[in-house]
């Protein structure tokens, strides 16, 4: 027991090893890493005057500042995003609850109906969310019957968090 007590004045401290936050990619994750690691993303959109609707979505990162997810072309969400493309995005868990310590980021969405982005997003979402895709497709068929499942890609340009709130029209 005598070896456990040490006088602090006898220890020499190298200035290089004093408690400092470690600098590196794992201390401040880049935007693409945040979205790649998120189980789902909570997407909040404007649905009417002073009304916001939040929906959990299966997303993939595109580059450093973009997200992509699929919606049905016949859904109300697609029509609302055509009228007003402003969205708020936030990483969430598998139930759609925001991740502790995360914050909302503003974004501008656009609908993509053709091109090489559609098969790319479909394959990436299938690779990331293997077992969840059949469940989502089944739920879509139960609620929407003949409406196509995920035939439109929504591309969101995510900007850095801002202190200005999302204003409704």
What the chain holds in terms of domains, given with CATH numbers, is 31-158 (2.30.110.10)
d(CA 13, CA 20): 13
Reported as a single tens digit per residue, the pLDDT across 9-43 is 444 444 444 343 344 444 445 666 777 787 888 88
CB burial of 105-117 (b: ≥16 within 10 Å; e: otherwise) equals bbbebeebeeeee
pLDDT at 135: 75
Q: Is residue 80 within 8 Å of residue 116, measured between CB atoms?
A: no
Q: What's the sign of the alpha-carbon dihedral 90, 150, 65, 124?
A: positive
- Would you state the structure tokens that stand for residue 134, as one six-digit string? 């059949």
Which secondary-structure segment (H or E) carries 124? helix 117-128
Beta strand segments in 101-140, E:
105-112
Q: Which residue has the tokens 């979505």?
A: 57
Per-residue pLDDT for the chain (169 aa), expressed as one digit of tens each? 444 444 444 444 444 443 433 444 444 456 667 777 878 888 888 888 888 889 888 888 888 888 899 888 888 888 899 988 899 999 998 888 888 888 889 999 999 988 888 889 888 888 887 877 777 777 767 776 777 777 889 999 988 755 555 554 4
d(CA 127, CA 155): 18
pLDDT at 33: 78
């Amino acid at each position: 027991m005598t070896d456990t007590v040490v006088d602090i004045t006898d220890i020499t401290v190298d200035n290089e090893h004093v408690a400092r936050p470690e600098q590196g990619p794992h201390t401040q994750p880049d935007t693409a890493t945040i979205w790649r690691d998120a189980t789902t993303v909570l997407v909040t959109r404007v649905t009417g005057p002073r009304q916001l609707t939040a929906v959990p979505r299966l997303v993939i990162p595109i580059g450093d500042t973009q997200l992509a997810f699929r919606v049905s072309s016949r859904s109300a969400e697609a029509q609302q995003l055509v009228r007003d493309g402003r969205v708020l995005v936030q990483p969430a868990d598998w139930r759609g609850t925001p991740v502790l310590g995360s914050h909302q980021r503003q974004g501008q969405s656009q609908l993509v109906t053709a091109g090489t982005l559609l098969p790319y997003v479909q394959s990436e979402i299938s690779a990331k969310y293997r077992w969840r895709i059949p469940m989502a497709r089944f739920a879509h068929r139960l609620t929407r019957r003949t409406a196509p499942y995920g035939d439109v890609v929504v591309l969101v340009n995510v900007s850095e968090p801002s202190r200005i709130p999302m204003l409704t029209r």
